[in-house]
Structure 1
Amino acid sequence: MSLTPPPPADPYGHLNPAGPPSGDPAFSHRTAGRARSGLGAGAAIVVLIAVAGLVALLVAGYLAVSLGVSVVAVGTLVALVPLGIVLFAIRWIDRWEPEPRWALWLAFLWGAAVSVAIALIVDLGVQLFAAFASPDGASTDEALQAVVQAPIVEEVAKGAGVLLIYLLARSHFDGPVDGLVYGATVAAGFAFTENILYFGVALIEGGAGELGTTFIVRGLFSPFAHVLFTACTGVAIGFAARRGRGAGVMAWFLVGLGAAILLHAFWNGSLAFADAFALYFTVQVPIFIAAIVVTVLLRREEQRMTRARLSEYADAGWFNRDEVEGLSTWPGRRAALAWARAQHPPRTAQVQRFIADATRLAFTRNIIATGRADVRRHADERALLEAVTRDRAAISA
């Protein structure tokens, strides 16, 4: 779709209102098709969230029966600390172009309930198989479970959730940062439930002292372990989303999943067979620092892309240069929000919506400009152009 300049309108402050796009005889047909597709995906999402919620109740019941209600309550309170640390980091990563709340809830519930349930069922199956297959009823080797079984089963279960979100919400899965956010959220949910289990077992077996040691190891030294693993899968799917669709997505998914499994196995193996304390500072910490550097670079790339795409709209008359500066830089956004808070009445919500819609527009335009758009993306662009027009009108009212 060409970028048609809007009709002129009276500016207010540093914001320049733009009019709606010109008519398109095919637009109504495209929008109707997108609406039907969106309804189908929306229904599937509602069903998945409901199923994940039900599984969460079953997992909670399993923990209560296995550990006791009081122990689960204590474990949950302690597990909220590393969860809060991880969620704060995810929020920081997701600030530029926030993902929808429903998608993040689905990701968290998938990790906290569905992925955990899959891991528990597989573990039970392996234990039963070993008991029947071994003549003396010996159990499976714990080290083998930690280095082989756990990485494969857990990363497949978590990665499947990230892949499902991509398939159901492609319009909100634009690149590697989105994949990182979804993968990290799934992993945060999984680690939260797993921590409840570990903290509960530690409390039962060794009391408060053992619980404190376990909390330091899992809650303070390695709260981002699962995030780091599953982020590999999410980032890989994000690169696939940026490059195209079809079979290539599955190839990228398998590459990311393989990296997640290997990193998970290496982590567990270092705890089982090596000096975990020394290896943590010589290997794990540098890996974590490298992950932070990559995350910062990916976020900066998103900001550069936002500026470049909004500049294209500015060339066509949809934005002025001050708006591009205010929408594509952190200082510009802070200045716009400060201006909104100073108004009477404050217009913070309207300006936040304008920033969000303009950022979504830039991401959508990037997909169109790089030749990866389908009919729905063109309809999204038209809808977002109309949205930023309404946002301006609301701000200037």
Structure 2
Amino acid sequence: MLLFSILTAAVAPGIALLTYLYLKDRYDSEPIHLVMKLFLTGMLIVVPVMVIQRGIELWLGSNPFLLSFGLSGGIEEMAKWFVLYHIIFNHTEFDEPYDGIVYAASISLGFATLENIMYAVYLPSTFTTLMLRALLPVSGHALFGIMMGYYMGKAKFAPARDSRRLLAYSLVLPALWHGIYNWILTSDVKQLAWVIVPFMAVFWIWGLGKIGRANARSPFRIVGREEEVKL
């Protein structure tokens, strides 16, 4: 019974955040099967990413900067971006800017959920520690997914001259902010841990703003207004 409770606590935050972001799509909800496919794909890339991270760590050694910006921020966000771009960017269901946020968050939260499950199974965990992980790592992955998806959504519908720049933003910015987040948590300067609460608060305010902007750019929003005028 205890194991079931711990596993539930490990899985619930990712599912809850994905459901919230899915329901924020105001105009044209994405197919559930495609969202779940990306969520499961996000889970599947965890082990290969961990193998690559471990190999690089053994090769180059470990220090807070490498662990934060190279292994966590760089490798993890690059893997998510690669999957997102090659599966979704040219998919017919990617038909409005907010879709980028839904699909990127699906991959990110799938990744975070399996990480949480592994943490619960292989390390001593309590319900409280898993809830703290929900507030930090799982929430962080959701925000990095929002950032990635927001700029990929802009790139999808931007003129060709701007699309490559926005695609670069969709990879570089989540990797950079993921690195900053990890560096705050792993830095030897212990006082920096107190920065993480306002950091996450500001990040969520930013993320909610991007959600609103992406929805406002939906072509279905204009169609809906035209139909209202006709009525």
**What band does the TM-score fall into relative to the shorter chain?**
0.7 to 0.9
Alpha-carbon distance in 1 for matches of 2:216, 2:58 = 50
Deviation at 1:126, TM superposition (A): 2.1
Identity, % of aligned positions = 23
- 1:221/1:237 Cα in 2 relative to 1: closer, same or farther (>3 Å)? closer
Are the counterparts in 1 of residues 151 and 170 from structure 2 also a CA contact under 8 Å? yes
Alpha-carbon spacing, 1:275–1:252, altered in 2? closer, same or farther (3 Å): same
- What are the superposed Cα offsets for residues 152-173 of structure 1, whole Å, 9 maximum, x if unpaired? 100000111111233451x221
Match of 1:162 among 67, 80, 84: 84
Q: Report the Cα distance in structure 2 between the residues aligned to 1:92 and 1:167, rounded to whole angstroms.
A: 21
- Matched ranges for 1:348-363 at <5 A: none
Partner of 1:198: 119
Q: Per the alignment, do residues 300 and 311 of structure 1 end up closer, same or farther by CA in structure 2, a change over 3 Å counting?
A: closer
Q: 1:140 to 1:306 in 2, by over 3 A?
A: closer
2:15 is equivalent to residue 84 of structure 1: yes
After superposition, where does 1:369-388 map in structure 2 within 5 Å? none
Q: 1:118 to 1:72 in 2, by over 3 A?
A: farther
Paired AA for residue 98 in structure 1 = S
> What's the offset of the Cα at 1:125?
2.0
Match of 1:321 in 2: 230
Is 2:118 aligned against 1:118? no
SS at 2:123 equivalent:
helix
Distance change (3 Å), C-alpha of 1:145 and 1:74: farther
Runs of 4+ off more than 6 Å = 70-74
Comparing 275-284 with 230-239, greater Cα deviation is found at 275-284
Specify the SS of the correspondent of 1:223.
Answer: helix
2:59 to 124, 129, 138: 129
Does residue 225 of structure 1 match 2:140?
A: yes
Corresponding residue for 2:153? Answer: 238
- In structure 2, the CA distance between the partners of 1:277 and 1:96, relative to structure 1 (3 Å rule), is farther
Query: Aligned Cα RMSD in Å?
Result: 2.9
| Higher relative contact order (Cα pairs below 8 Å, separated by 6+ residues) | 2
| More moved, 256-265 vs 71-80 | 71-80
Q: Which runs of 5+ in 1 are unaligned?
A: 1-69, 131-138, 204-209, 323-397
Give the TM-score normalised by the residue count of structure 2: 0.84
Q: TM-score, normalised on structure 1? A: 0.51
The DSSP-based 3-state class of the residue aligned with 2:138 is: coil
The gaps in structure 2 that reach 5 residues or longer are: none
Secondary structure class of the residue paired with 1:96: coil
Provide the residue aligned with 2:96 in structure 1.
175
Give the greater-gyration-radius structure (CA).
Answer: 1
Write out per-residue CA displacement over residues 108-138 of structure 1, whole angstroms, 9 at most, x where no aligned residue. Answer: 1221112x133122023224535xxxxxxxx
